[in-house]
């Protein structure tokens, strides 16, 4: 692992927040993310920016180096020579953080409120609150820029707000976290599930997380190359994390049954008296899961096989949920 010398010209030495940005092959969105940081008011709240490149093979590092050369923020780039995963990269940055607070930010997030730094930090004045998080949007106009299979992957999220701790732009009280909760579980979660696990641990210690009054855009990827195998890979990744969480916390303890609706549908096919009901629900699901693709996308022949693919993903997700449950590890990057 190596790091470059921090940028020496900085106007932001008075802040007490470190912005932590983990990057992995994020060249399609990274410029938008960095520009949205530059567009913020109250920049003096930010003491420094720690950027962890987790073994990118695209142009991400060059984009970061160019940003370091032109920004007024105090920026440090750390390059993992081997991919460590999101949770371990977070921990690496947190251990180097010298501020009382830090913001975790993903490489595909666009800050749309110019006062995001102020608003994400303000709830932490209450010392019972360890972390604050924004409202995450998935706007239709961004979704329409995706290629076909990426539209399928994120179809269910379009124009829906997600209000929960996710690490996408969350502010955390470092001292409270380190003293009472501990860092991310990098041994169990590589690139998914670490956020939910940390929130459960925070709540179990009697602390809280709170939504801040700001919205952010989740861009995901903005390139046109997104083959079917990437959709399958992402579904497997998320399902594996759900299996680990299920093993640790159980289905009924702070979890909504809808989180595990796909394994429930598949298991229902093998339970007497539930088989027909499960089969009917799976048939309905095969169309509803990507409903917006059918409604908002010009006809393509791929749509003819889309219901079959949706059903296949039910079984793939179920397999990886059980894999995560048995192994107690989310390993897919």
Q: What is the rounded CA–CA span in Å between residue 116 and residue 130?
A: 18
Q: Per-residue b/e over 117-152, b at no fewer than 16 CB within 10 Å? A: bebbbbbbeeeebbbbbbebbbeeebbeebebbbbb
Q: What is the rounded CA–CA span in Å between residue 249 and residue 84?
A: 25
**Residue whose C-alpha is closest to residue 136's, from 76, 212, 38, 42:** 212
* Tens of pLDDT, residues 263-319: 999 999 999 999 999 999 999 999 999 999 999 999 999 999 999 999 999 999 999
Q: Encoding tokens for residue 231?
A: 């959709």
Has residue 253 got a pLDDT over 70?
no
CATH domain 2-218 topology: Spore Coat Polysaccharide Biosynthesis Protein SpsA; Chain A (3.90.550)
Q: What is the rounded CA–CA span in Å between residue 157 and residue 166?
A: 15
**Residue whose C-alpha is closest to residue 168's, from 125, 236, 205, 214:** 214
Q: What is the rounded CA–CA span in Å between residue 187 and residue 327?
A: 12
CA quadruple 323, 260, 202, 188: dihedral, nearest 10:
10
**Residue whose C-alpha is closest to residue 192's, from 58, 56, 332, 70:** 332
Q: What predicted TM-score, i.e. pTM, was given to this entire model?
A: 0.90
Arithmetic mean of pLDDT, 154-159: 93
Q: What is the rounded CA–CA span in Å between residue 166 and residue 234?
A: 16
- Please compute Rg for the chain using Cα positions: 21
Residue 174 neighbours by CB under 8 Å, 6+ apart: 94, 97, 99, 100, 101, 102
* Tens of pLDDT, residues 49-79: 999 999 999 999 999 999 999 999 999 999 9
Has residue 255 got a pLDDT over 60?
no
DSSP 82-93: S---HHHHHHHH
Has residue 10 got a pLDDT over 90?
no
Domain coordinates in residue numbering, the chain: 2-218, 228-327
In the chain, the percentage of residues whose pLDDT exceeds 70 is 93
pLDDT for res 333: 85
């Amino acid at each position: 692992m190596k790091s470059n010398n921090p940028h020496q010209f900085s106007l932001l030495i008075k802040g007490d927040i470190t912005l932590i940005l983990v990057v992995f092959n994020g060249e399609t969105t990274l410029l938008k993310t960095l520009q949205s940081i530059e567009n913020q008011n109250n920049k003096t709240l930010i003491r420094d920016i720690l950027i962890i490149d987790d073994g990118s093979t695209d142009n991400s590092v060059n984009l970061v180096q160019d940003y370091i050369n032109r920004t007024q923020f105090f920026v440090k780039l750390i390059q993992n020579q081997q991919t460590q995963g999101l949770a371990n990269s977070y921990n690496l940055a947190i251990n180097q953080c010298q501020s009382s607070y830090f913001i975790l930010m993903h490489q595909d997030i666009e800050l749309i409120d110019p006062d995001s730094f102020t608003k994400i930090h303000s709830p932490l004045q209450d010392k019972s609150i360890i972390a604050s998080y924004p409202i995450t949007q998935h706007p239709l106009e961004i979704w329409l820029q995706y290629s076909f299979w990426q539209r399928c992957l994120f179809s269910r999220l379009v124009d829906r707000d997600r209000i929960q701790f996710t690490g996408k732009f969350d502010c955390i009280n470092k001292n409270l976290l380190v003293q009472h909760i501990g860092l991310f579980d990098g041994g169990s979660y590589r690139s998914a599930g670490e956020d939910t696990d940390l929130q459960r641990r925070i709540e179990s210690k009697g602390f809280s997380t709170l939504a801040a009054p700001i919205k952010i855009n989740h861009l995901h990827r903005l390139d046109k190359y997104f083959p079917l195998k990437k959709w399958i890979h992402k579904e497997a990744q998320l399902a594996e994390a759900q299996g680990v969480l299920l093993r640790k916390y159980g289905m009924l303890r702070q979890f909504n049954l809808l989180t595990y609706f796909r394994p429930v549908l598949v298991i229902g096919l093998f339970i007497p008296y539930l088989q027909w009901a499960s089969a009917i629900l799976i048939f309905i699901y095969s169309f509803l899961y990507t409903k917006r693709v059918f409604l908002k996308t010009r006809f393509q022949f791929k749509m003819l096989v889309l219901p079959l693919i949706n059903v296949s993903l039910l079984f793939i997700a179920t397999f990886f949920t059980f894999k995560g449950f048995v192994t107690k590890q989310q390993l897919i990057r």
